[in-house]
Each structure stands twice: as C-alpha cells, then as structure tokens.
Chains A and B, each alone.
Chain A
Amino acid sequence: MTEPLLELRGLRKAYGAIVVTDDVNLSVLPGELHAIIGPNGAGKTTLIHQISGTLSSDSGRVLFDGEDITHLPMHGRVLRGLARSFQITSILPAFSALENVALAVQARSGSSFRFFGDAAQEKALNEAAMEYLSMVGLAPRARVAAGLLSHGEKRQLELAVGLATQPKLLLLDEPLAGTGHEESLRVVETLQRLKGRITIVLIEHDMDAVFSLADRVSVLVYGRVIATDSPESIRANEEVRAAYLGEEEVV
C-alpha cells in the first residue's frame, strides 16, 4: 500500500461548545483527486483552514509528505508543497493577472530579498507565469488588472496562482462557487487536465463536477467523516443518502 501524501489524525476544532471538526481521520493518496462533500455547515471550510494552516487545531495531527506539519504556519506549509485556494476569491486586485502568478513563481525561485532589478521585467518569472495562465486558459487576459477580471476568470486565476507555487497537493475550496455554466465547465476541464499530475483535495457543492472528477469521496457531516469511498459506493451508501444527498438528489 502506498504512503498517503496527506494524513489527518484525530483532528479537532471547537468554538466554545460547538465542535466544528470532530475527530477527523483522513488519508489522501498521492495522485488522487479526493473530494470532500457535505451539507452546508458541515465544517468543510474549517477543515481546509486547518489543513492549510489558516486556523490552528485544538488537537490531532496533520501529516504531509511524511512530516508532521501540525504547528507549521501557512507560508511554511506552502513552501513544502501544500497550496490552497479560497472559497471567497482572494487575489491581488491591483496587480495584473500575470503579476499575480509571477509573484507566486517568484516565491519558489530564488530569494525575494533582492532590492534592485525590475521584478516585472524578469523573463524567467514572466514566462513561467504565462505557462500557468495558459494552463487555465487565461493567457489572453494576462495584462488585465486582476480586479477587472470576471468572477469566473478570477477563479481560474486563483487556480493558476495555486499551481505556480508548484504544490504536491492543491486544496481547492469550492472553485466553482458563483461561476456561470460556461465558466464552471472551463474550470472542470482544467481540473480534468490536472488530475493525476498533482494530488487535489476538492471541496465542492456541484455534485456533477464532484462525481465526474473524484477518485474518492469523503462525506463530512457535523464535523465528522461518515464515509470515504469511491464515487459509486458513496452514491449507493444509505447513511450518506440519509444524511446528505436527501430526496432532491436522486442518484
């Protein structure tokens, strides 16, 4: 059996009496696209925050690539290859799309304590950034200020920024949230292309996307993982249907 790339052991987070993450155990295998689904308020975003280091955990451990990263700050985790996107779009609005990505490339190539030389003219950074933009289909918009991009384009840009940090594992927090039909197709297509090349943990409400992309699916309900299995088995799982899919999702 292969070693998991990411492993959560007994992870817990509570706000007062409300337990948001309740003894979560989860293994993500290298190369897989692992989706986490669950009804609203199940604690999916909190879990992502704990994995990425935005929030600290009350107890439990986060193991990544054979290393205990439970107490590492976010930037330290990023440098070890654990990148994330945000549910609410998080970009540098005044920077061009290209510069948003180039900055992420810069973070991984050489020191940023260089005080001379125009960073915007650094060919190596810009060329690499352009490649990532092309990967998500945003190359024609490279020179546009990120704040002026459409919502869907911003989601694609976030994906490109995440990729530019050269992650081993990419945490995607609802990359399709708020996108139109066309745009969401484009993001799904991009994910399809990335699949297998890097490990992805995907949180998403769009069930069509989840079931078409995921290798494995974990279901989170009230902070607990109630099942982890292949998409087919999850569809058939009675407990999952009762807790989450309900009557509206006849599958």
Chain B
Amino acid sequence: MPTAARLDLVPVAIFAVFAAAPFLASASGAEGYVLSLLTRVMIFGIAAMALDLILGYGALVSFGHAAFFGIGAYAVGILASHGVEDALVQVPVALAASAFFAAVTGAISLRTKGVYFIMITLAFAQMLYFLASSLAAYGGDDGLTLPARSLVAGSDFLENDYALYGATLACLLGAYILLRAVVASRFGRVLRGTKENITRMEAIGFQPFSFQLTAYVISGMIAGLAGCLLANQAEFVSPAFMTWQRSGELIFMVVLGGLGSLHGAIIGAAAFLLMEEFLPEILHAAGFFLNDDLRWRLTENWQMVFGPILILIVLFARGGIVGLLRRGHHD
C-alpha cells in the first residue's frame, strides 16, 4: 500500500531527529538542559508506546500505567540503596516485578469491561502509590535520592548525560521495533481483532482473555523499563512517579499523538512535554501587549491555555497528530 510506505517516513524522521539532537544540543550552549528534557521526552515516549499497545491495539483503557513507572523506578532505587547498582541486575528485577504486577492485576482487571476496567486499573495503581508512600525505609512520601546513576557491567558511563541519552534512545528504538513486530505478528492480529469485535473472535475459536493478558504484561514490562530510565534521569525516585495524574497524562499522550500507531505515542509524549515546558515562555512573549500584571498572571496560569489546546487537538484532529500528518498526505 503506497500510503503505508509513505507513512513509514514519519517514524524514520522521529528517530533521525532524536539522533541528531545531541549534536545540536552541544551547539546550543545549554546542553545539560536540552539533553535532560529530550531524555525525559523519550522515556515518556517509551511508556506511552507501551500503553498504546493495549489502548490503541487492544482497546483496553488502563488508567494505572504510571504504576509500572513506579515499579521500574523503585526497583532501581531500592536495589541501589542496598548497594546493588548495576543495571544488569536492576533492569531484569524491574522487568520481572512489572511482569508479575501486570499478570496479577491484569488477570483480575481483565475480568471486567469498560468503565470497570478503567476503575480497577486505577485502584491497583493507587494501592501501589500508597504502598510506596508508606515505605519509610525508602523515603516514604519524600522519595529517595539515588547515590549515583546505574552502572552497566561495572562501568559508570551513564553518569555522562550523552551516554544516558544514547542509552534511552537505544531503548526507545528497541521498544519501537519490538512493538512494531508484535503488532504485525499472529499475536498482534488476534489482539487487533479483539479490539474490533470480541464476539467474532470468540466465534472463530480464540479466547480473548489470554491474548489481552499477555499484551498487558508486555505493556507493563516496557513501561517498567521506562521507569528504570526515569529514575536514572531524575537520579531520584518518589511516589509522585505513579500518581493517577501521571497515568492520565500517559493516556493523553497516546490520544494526542494518535491511537494505534506506536510512533504517534512518541509524538504525543514529545508534544505534551514540550508544550508543558515552553508554553509559559510562549505565553509570556505572546502577551507583550498586556500590562505587566496581566502578563504575569497569564504566564503563571499557563495551564489555563494548555488544557484547551489539548482539548482542541483531540476534538478536531481525529486520529491525533499522526492523523493530521496522514490527512496532509492525502490532500
């Protein structure tokens, strides 16, 4: 299909931009800031893509995906506080813990449908949030500062911001390629089928539950990986990583970028975080004709503009930003 071939340029362009960005960052003079912002964008991109697997391809609205952020981040934080600082241990532990949490909560949540599924995933994430808040040994509410970034096979090269950026980019690319394969595979086709018409899938002999649960576990593990990276990027771990607002933001990123396209989730994460970062300054510049007091209030309350912008994009750009790009191609 020619449209599909043309669309494939979008993910290529995304990865080209992320690959080129460090070189521009070093030219900008504010490289620490640029690198840390873009690393965050990629980390959220990984988590949003993970959510897109179940939300965009399986129509399962998980309102608790930030929990996996937390699991990944706390695996790094708790192990580091006990002197286990190597990512080669931390990451497998994080993935196993995420898979276990996903398998248990998924097996229960997937017995419900629609709004009930949303609520029960939210409830499980909240349980984990309060559990983390009560872990006095690991900072409780205040969180836990990492002594250092994770080692990799004994080497501390991740201390370098460029190296962490590169490692994150590698994870983003790896997650993208993996998920792209999963979606097109036999398994992915069954998952997509359950989104379209679950009764039909049962009527041709599939048991949707086992496919949905497997997708949920895969999704949770990838989001857990993002949590490991987030802990290293922030060099800090806190219950705030898994608030329900964070789960909501992940859903928003996926919808904003375009459901069921994978790279749309990366675009959505980038659009969301960059707008959040720069909207106050844009508003400050755009308010030049206002008096100082009004201008200050506008900048201070930038979220009053942020919210409507998000709503407008979702309302008028069906299929999110990726949908807009696609429409541009057809015209």
| Interface residue ranges, A against B (CB under 8 Å) | 52, 54, 73-75, 78-79, 83-84, 86, 90-95, 99, 103-104, 106-108, 110-120, 122, 161, 164-165
Which chain B residues numbered 191 to 206 have a C-beta less than 8 Å away from chain A? 192-193, 196-197, 199-206
| Chain A, Cβ-Cβ closest to B190 | A112
| Chain A, Cβ-Cβ closest to B205 | A78
B205 near A114 (CB under 8 angstroms)? Answer: no
Known: A92-B193, A93-B196. A114 touches B185 (CB 8 A): yes
Partner of A114, one of B187, B192, B193: B187
B189 at interface (Cβ–Cβ under 8 A)? Answer: yes
Given A103-B190, A108-B205, A116-B185; 11 other pairs, CB 8 A cutoff: A73-B207, A74-B203, A94-B196, A103-B201, A106-B189, A116-B181, A119-B184, A119-B185, A119-B186, A161-B200, A164-B204
Q: Mark B60-77, 1 if CB is under 8 A from A, else 0.
A: 000000000000000000
A115 near B187 (CB under 8 angstroms)? Answer: yes
A-B pairs, top 8 by smallest CB distance, nearest first, are A78-B205, A92-B196, A107-B205, A104-B204, A114-B186, A119-B186, A119-B189, A74-B202
A164: chain B residues at CB < 8 Å are 204
CA distance A226 to B94 in the complex (A): 64
B204 near A118 (CB under 8 angstroms)? Answer: no
Q: Mark B201-233, 1 if CB is under 8 A from A, else 0.
A: 111111100010010000000000000000000
B187: chain A residues at CB < 8 Å are 112-115
B203 near A119 (CB under 8 angstroms)? Answer: no
| Chain A, Cβ-Cβ closest to B214 | A113
B197 near A112 (CB under 8 angstroms)? Answer: no
B203 near A78 (CB under 8 angstroms)? Answer: yes
B204: chain A residues at CB < 8 Å are 78, 83, 103-104, 107, 161, 164-165
Known: A92-B193, A103-B190, A120-B189. A75 touches B207 (CB 8 A): yes
B196 near A112 (CB under 8 angstroms)? Answer: no
CA distance A9 to B189 in the complex (A): 38
CA distance A79 to B186 in the complex (A): 18
CA distance A52 to B197 in the complex (A): 17
B239 at interface (Cβ–Cβ under 8 A)? Answer: no
| Chain B interface SS verdict (over half) | helix
B188 at interface (Cβ–Cβ under 8 A)? Answer: yes
A107 near B184 (CB under 8 angstroms)? Answer: no
Q: Mark B223-257, 1 if CB is under 8 A from A, else 0.
A: 00000000000000000000000000000000000
Q: How many A-B residue pairs have CB under 8 A?
A: 92
CA distance A118 to B193 in the complex (A): 15
A95 near B185 (CB under 8 angstroms)? Answer: no
Known: A91-B197, A92-B196. A115 touches B206 (CB 8 A): no
Pick 28 A–B contacts, CB within 8 A, sort by A: A74-B202, A78-B205, A90-B197, A90-B200, A92-B193, A92-B196, A92-B200, A95-B192, A95-B196, A106-B189, A107-B204, A107-B206, A108-B205, A112-B189, A112-B190, A113-B187, A114-B185, A115-B181, A115-B187, A116-B182, A117-B185, A117-B186, A119-B185, A119-B186, A119-B188, A120-B189, A161-B204, A164-B204
B185: chain A residues at CB < 8 Å are 114-119
B196 near A75 (CB under 8 angstroms)? Answer: no
CA distance A116 to B182 in the complex (A): 6
A86 near B196 (CB under 8 angstroms)? Answer: no
B202 near A112 (CB under 8 angstroms)? Answer: no
A90 near B186 (CB under 8 angstroms)? Answer: no
| Chain A, Cβ-Cβ closest to B185 | A115
> Among the interface residues B190, B197, B199, B205, which one has the most CB atoms of the partner chain A within 10 A?
B205
A115 near B196 (CB under 8 angstroms)? Answer: no
A94: chain B residues at CB < 8 Å are 192, 196
Which chain B residues numbered 134 to 178 have a C-beta less than 8 Å away from chain A? none
CB of B44 to closest CB in A, whole Å: 24
B189: chain A residues at CB < 8 Å are 99, 103, 106, 112, 119-120
A92 near B205 (CB under 8 angstroms)? Answer: no
CA distance A164 to B189 in the complex (A): 16
B207 near A106 (CB under 8 angstroms)? Answer: no
| Chain B, Cβ-Cβ closest to A78 | B205
CB of B7 to closest CB in A, whole Å: 16
CA distance A78 to B188 in the complex (A): 21
Known: A115-B185, A118-B185, A119-B186. A92 touches B202 (CB 8 A): no
CB of B186 to closest CB in A, whole Å: 4
B214: chain A residues at CB < 8 Å are 113
B192: chain A residues at CB < 8 Å are 94-95
Known: A116-B181, A120-B184. A79 touches B205 (CB 8 A): yes
A107: chain B residues at CB < 8 Å are 204-206
> Among the interface residues A75, A104, A161, which one has the most CB atoms of the partner chain B within 10 A?
A75
Partner of B200, one of A91, A106, A113: A91
B186: chain A residues at CB < 8 Å are 106, 110-114, 117, 119, 122
CB of B213 to closest CB in A, whole Å: 11
A112 near B211 (CB under 8 angstroms)? Answer: yes
CB of A148 to closest CB in B, whole Å: 14
